[in-house]
Amino acid sequence: MGPRQEPSPVQGPVGAHEGRPARMTPPRIHGHPVPALFPASGGVSVMLFGEAPGPRGADQSGIPFWGDGAGITVYRALATAGRAEVPEAAWEDWDGARFKALGLAPRLRGTALSNAYPACPTKDGEHFHAPSNRDLLASANLARLAAELTRAAAGPAQTLRVIAFGKKAEWVLGRLPEAPPFELHALPHPSAQGLLQGAPNRGKGLKLMDLRSAWQQRLQALLEG
């Protein structure tokens, strides 16, 4: 289901720059692998994959999508669908470093979260760059993805539903040689650029707010289906 050639790297992580005021000094990127998040108990019927942890979000919080700008749309959909409990204080200032400092974390139900690439890719510790096809197809990364899917598929659901955000996530998930059967669905990358590129006529004449709302509704439908 993935594209035939490497997608443009300018798309960025799941919402690293959306949903918050601009800050004068960007955070130092840790670049540590962010582990997949699974429910504390119970099985998994749906698993979400973003592209990579964002520099202001998951790279700081250590939790997939948690604090990433477009991640707020992901968690709104999860909460509305009854698949996540989000602390009320989190909505006040959506920032990964803040979440880490305050010990704020989501609680999942029947859903697991991860990324196509486990760490925030950077060459200088300050700027994000999208993971390359070589990064994504590294044997260690493919083994990690297969292991996460195997764990998720061990639940009671007949077939695991996997939702990929953006072309890179869809691309690599369609190229796993050793993974359990799963049902792959793809949504546009939830960043502003991803939403515009995925909209009819590249979003001309459409409001970003409306595109984001429609994207959230599509995700909710997949979560509830």
Residue-wise burial string across 111-137, b where 16 or more C-beta atoms lie within 10 A, e elsewhere: bbbbbbbbbbbbeeeeebebbeeebbe
Q: What is the pLDDT of residue 35?
A: 98
Whether the CB-CB separation of 55 and 29 falls below 8 Å is answered with yes
C-alpha distances in angstroms, 3 versus 130, 140, 147, 168, 171? Answer: 16, 22, 24, 8, 6
Q: Token match 């968690």: residue?
A: 75
| pLDDT of 66 above 70 | yes
Domains along the chain with CATH numbers? 28-224 (3.40.470.10)
Tell me what the pLDDT averaged over the chain comes to: 87
| pLDDT of 204 above 80 | no
Asked whether the CA dihedral 69, 94, 220, 40 is positive or negative, the reply is positive
| pLDDT of 164 above 90 | yes
Q: In Å, how far from its chain's centre is CA 73?
A: 10
| pLDDT of 11 above 60 | no
Q: What is the pLDDT of residue 5?
A: 39
Can you give the pTM of this predicted structure? 0.85
Q: What is the pLDDT of residue 199?
A: 67
Q: What is the pLDDT of residue 203?
A: 65
Q: Is 89 exposed, middle or buried (0-12, 13-18, 19+ CB in 10 A)?
A: exposed
Q: What is the pLDDT of residue 85?
A: 98
For 100-155, write each residue's pLDDT tens digit. 999 999 999 999 999 999 999 998 888 888 999 999 999 999 999 999 999 999 97
For 70-98, write each residue's pLDDT tens digit. 899 999 999 999 999 999 999 999 999 99
Bigger pLDDT: 6 vs 210: 210
